[in-house]
Amino acid sequence: MKTYFKRLFIFTAIIFSFQFHCEKQDDFQTEKKQALLQHNYLIVNTTDGTPAEVEVSYSVYIAGNKENTVITERKTTPFVIGGEKVMAKYDSIYESNGRDRWHLYNEPYYDYQPKGSDYLVIKNTSTTTLEYAVVGAQKVRYYALPELNRKPLISRKEPVNINKMLKDYPLPIYKGTPVLYLFKPELAPQTDVFTFWESLSSDDNTRINKITLKTPTFGSVTLNTPMSITDVLALYKEEFENGNTLFDSYSTYYSHLLGEPNRSLKRLIGICLMVFGMENYLQDRSL
């Protein structure tokens, strides 16, 4: 039996902002805080498809408790875990000039100890090699009107619902839809949404693209029943082997459609599916 201690860093949907602007440094202050986040989903299977017994332990937050709780489960492949809430620690960094104070960015604190937000142990009780993939569980968020007003002018013949302009969404993207909705369609917004089209040409005035994310249509995919997790895992294999399948944003997906090469995860992030080796695949989002 082999035990693998995995950093839950890639398993947790960290949503911190690291943005700040460069100005004269004054006094920096740090406040330690906590935030209730959500685990990403982890799909696990054997490389040859034969069932295998696997024991997994990881931290979750149960309402009413003061700290996370470690849950341990025995699973038979293929299976998926994740989606639970977890309490994560982070440092909130401020800058002060003595009179005023302003927020700069949030810096996550990774805790790999039991009950820590990044704790994950996988025990493979079989002799068969395991493979797995991480699917982002980020919540859909839309741009606020003041944010849209700061964007470049847009033009589109069809009506645009400015209240449904996507800002944050689960990753990765496959054929115009977050992979999450392929096997968990009930989590989709069940509506038409809009994204900015990052044109490669300055002469192209079309900057908005309409996307359907409601049953049975998700992007360019039509599903009458949820996709099996083995089929989802196959998408990661395809990306790992050939690329041009999974993308880290709608922007890079559109660039791919417009003919720009090497825009998928294989090129931008590296290996997105590994045998007994998780890549640090997560998305940083504003708190």
pLDDT score, position 147: 84
pLDDT score, position 157: 59
- In this prediction the pTM is 0.81
Q: What does each of the 287 residues of the chain score in pLDDT, given as a tens digit?
A: 454 444 333 454 433 333 334 444 568 889 999 999 999 999 999 999 999 999 999 999 999 999 999 999 999 999 999 999 999 999 999 998 878 888 888 988 889 999 999 999 999 999 999 999 999 999 999 999 888 877 765 655 567 888 999 999 999 999 999 999 999 999 999 999 999 875 555 555 557 889 999 999 999 999 999 999 999 999 999 999 999 999 999 999 998 998 888 899 987 654 443 333 333 333 332 22
pLDDT score, position 7: 38
Domain ranges of the chain: 2-135, 141-267
pLDDT score, position 8: 37
List the structure tokens of 97.
């000039």
